[in-house]
C-alpha cells in the first residue's frame, strides 16, 4: 500500500479542536453522498486510474480479539436495559469511534475520484426476518454520526431491525429490487450500465443511492450467528463501499500465563477487506490498531468522543 497521504496524519485526539460537526459547503464536483477531496497528494489522485476497480485494489486483514472485557461490557449494557445488545453493536460502536479519529477511513472512490462521507457513516447489513432456514432476507442501511455512543448505535440499529422484522414489511431495498426484477434481462443489463454511468459522473439520484446496498461506508456481516469462522468477502465494483467486515463465532483457546499456569480465554476472529486507495498503509494500520483498543476498554464508548477529527478538503 503506497504511503501517499501524509496530510491526514495530524489526526490525533490530543491535537483535535473542540468537538463539533460542521457541515461542509457543497461545491461543483461533489456527489449527493460525498464531498470531493481536492487537496490530496498527486499519488492519491493517480492511484484510482492505475487501479480502476475495487476488486483489484483490495487488501485483506485478519485479526483475533480476546473478548473478556467485551463480554463484561455486553452484559453490563443488557443489564441497563439494552435488550439484545451484542457483538454486532460493539463492533459498530468501535468502528464509529475509529472514524471520529481516523476520518480518511470513511472515504470512497467513485469515477476515479476520491470522496469523503464526512460526518455521515453509512453501514449496510443483511438481516433475516426470522432465524429459520427459509426466512426472507433484507438489507438495511443505517446512518451513524462520529459523535454517536454505543447506546446511540444500539438504538439506531435496533429501530431499523425492528421495523424490518414486522409482519410482511417490504424495505425500500426490497421494493427497488422488485422493480428491477420485472425488467427483461437484456434491458436490465442496459439499465445497470446506465446506472454505472450515472454513478461514475456523480449523477445518480440520492433516492437511488439511499436504497442501494452497494453505496455506503461499510458492509458488515456476522458469521457468528451461523456458527462459522469469518469469510474474506469481496468488495463490489458496482457502487462505492470501500470496507467489508466479517466476524465469526466465539471460540475458546487455552493459553499459558507467565508462571506456566494454563488459562482458557475466549476470542472472536474478524476479517476486513478494504479498498487500499482511500488512504495510505500507515494510516490504515493505525486505524486497525485503534479499532482493537476499544475492545480492551469498551467503556469509553459510553461517552461521546472528546474531539472529532475532520478530513482534508
The reported pLDDT for the residue numbered 171 is: 62
Q: Rounded to an integer, what distance in angstroms lies between the CA atom of residue 119 and that of residue 33?
A: 11
What radius of gyration do the chain's Cα atoms show? 20
- So what's the pLDDT on residue 168? 55
Residue 197 corresponds to which cell in the numbers above?
454511468
Q: How far apart are CA 164 and CA 171, in angstroms?
A: 7
Q: Do 49 and 112 meet the contact criterion of CB atoms below 8 Å apart?
A: yes
pLDDT tens-digit map of 251-282: 999 998 888 899 999 999 999 999 999 999 99
What's the confidence (pLDDT) of residue 6?
A: 44
Predicted confidence at residue 13, as pLDDT, reads 37
pLDDT for the residue 247? 96
Distance of alpha carbon 14 from alpha carbon 305, whole angstroms: 11
- Per-residue pLDDT for 141 more than 60? yes
> Which residues have a Cβ under 8 Å from the Cβ of 36 and sit 6 or more positions away?
27, 29, 30, 113, 114, 115
Show the cell assigned to 110.
467513485
> How would residue 226 be classed by pLDDT, with cut points 50, 70 and 90?
confident
Instruction: Tell me, yes or no, whether 268 lies in a domain.
Output: yes
Task: Determine, yes or no, domain membership for 185.
Answer: no
Q: Average of pLDDT values for 160-177?
A: 71
Q: Is the pLDDT of residue 189 over 70?
A: yes
Asked, for residue 194, whether it belongs to a domain, the answer is: no
Q: What is the pLDDT of residue 190?
A: 93
C-alpha span between 58 and 13 (Å, rounded)? 28
104-134 pLDDT tens trace = 999 999 999 999 998 999 999 988 766 555 6
Per the structure, the complete domain to which residue 45 belongs is given by 6-11+36-173+213-302
- Does residue 202 sit within a domain? no
pTM of the predicted protein model? 0.88
In a domain, 181, yes or no: no
- How confident is the model at residue 200, as a pLDDT? 96
Please report the pLDDT score of residue 8 as a whole number.
39
Give the CATH number for residue 243.
3.30.559.10
Report whether 169 contacts 127 (CB < 8 A). Answer: no
The pLDDT confidence band at residue 286, using thresholds 50, 70 and 90, is very high
Residue with cell 469511534: 97
In a domain, residue 19? The reply is no
Q: Are 308 and 147 in contact (CB under 8 A)?
A: yes
Q: What is the largest CA-CA distance in the chain?
A: 69
Report which of 84, 83, 87, 82 is spatially closest to residue 71, judged by C-alpha positions.
Answer: 87
pLDDT bucket at 182, cuts 50 / 70 / 90 = confident
Is 24 inside a domain boundary? Answer: no
Place of cell 494500520: 285
Burial classification of residue 163, based on how many CB atoms lie within 10 Å of its CB (0-12 exposed, 13-18 middle, 19 or more buried)? exposed
* Residue of 19 and 232 predicted with greater confidence: 232
What confidence tier does 137 reach under pLDDT thresholds 50, 70, 90?
A: confident
Question: CA–CA distance from 43 to each of 9, 48, 49, 86 (Å)?
Answer: 16, 9, 10, 41
pLDDT digits (tens, 9 = 90+) for 14-68: 333 445 556 678 888 999 999 999 999 999 999 999 999 998 999 999 999 999 9
Spatial neighbors of 1 by CB under 8 A, at least 6 apart, are: 59, 276, 280, 281, 284
> Which residue from 287, 298, 192, 288 is spatially nearest to 236, judged by alpha carbons?
192
Domain-embedded: residue 231: yes
Count up the domains in the chain and report the number: 1
Amino acid at each position: 500500500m503506497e504511503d501517499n497521504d501524509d496530510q491526514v496524519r495530524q489526526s490525533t485526539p490530543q491535537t483535535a479542536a473542540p468537538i463539533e460537526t460542521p457541515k461542509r459547503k457543497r461545491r461543483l464536483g461533489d456527489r449527493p453522498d460525498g464531498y470531493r477531496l481536492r487537496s490530496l497528494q498527486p499519488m492519491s489522485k493517480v492511484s484510482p486510474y492505475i487501479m480502476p476497480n475495487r476488486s483489484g485494489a483490495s487488501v485483506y486483514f485478519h485479526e483475533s480479539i480476546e473478548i473478556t472485557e467485551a463480554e463484561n461490557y455486553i452484559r453490563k449494557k443488557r443489564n441497563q436495559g439494552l435488550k439484545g445488545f451484542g457483538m454486532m453493536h460493539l463492533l459498530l460502536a468501535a468502528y464509529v469511534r475509529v472514524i471520529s479519529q481516523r476520518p480518511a477511513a470513511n472515504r470512497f472512490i467513485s469515477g476515479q475520484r476520491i470522496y469523503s462521507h464526512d460526518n455521515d457513516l453509512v453501514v449496510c447489513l443483511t438481516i433475516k426476518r426470522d432465524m429459520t432456514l427459509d426466512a426472507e432476507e433484507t438489507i438495511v442501511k443505517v446512518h451513524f454520526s462520529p459523535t454517536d455512543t454505543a447506546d446511540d448505535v444500539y438504538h439506531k440499529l435496533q429501530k431499523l431491525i425492528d421495523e424490518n422484522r414486522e409482519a410482511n414489511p417490504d424495505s425500500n431495498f426490497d421494493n427497488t429490487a422488485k422493480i428491477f426484477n420485472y425488467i427483461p434481462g437484456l434491458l436490465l443489463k442496459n439499465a445497470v450500465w446506465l446506472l454505472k454511468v450515472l454513478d461514475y459522473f456523480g449523477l445518480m439520484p440520492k433516492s437511488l443511492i439511499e436504497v442501494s446496498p452497494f453505496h455506503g461506508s461499510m458492509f458488515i456481516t456476522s458469521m457468528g450467528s451461523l456458527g462459522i469462522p469469518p469469510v474474506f468477502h469481496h468488495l463490489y465494483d458496482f457502487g462505492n463501499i470501500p470496507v467489508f467486515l466479517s466476524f465469526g463465532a466465539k471460540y475458546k483457546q487455552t493459553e499459558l500465563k507467565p508462571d506456566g499456569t494454563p488459562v482458557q480465554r475466549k476470542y472472536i476472529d474478524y476479517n476486513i477487506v478494504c479498498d487500499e486507495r482511500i488512504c495510505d498503509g500507515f494510516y490504515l494500520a493505525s486505524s486497525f490498531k485503534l479499532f482493537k483498543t476499544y475492545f480492551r476498554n469498551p467503556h469509553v464508548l459510553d461517552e461521546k468522543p472528546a474531539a472529532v477529527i475532520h478530513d482534508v478538503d
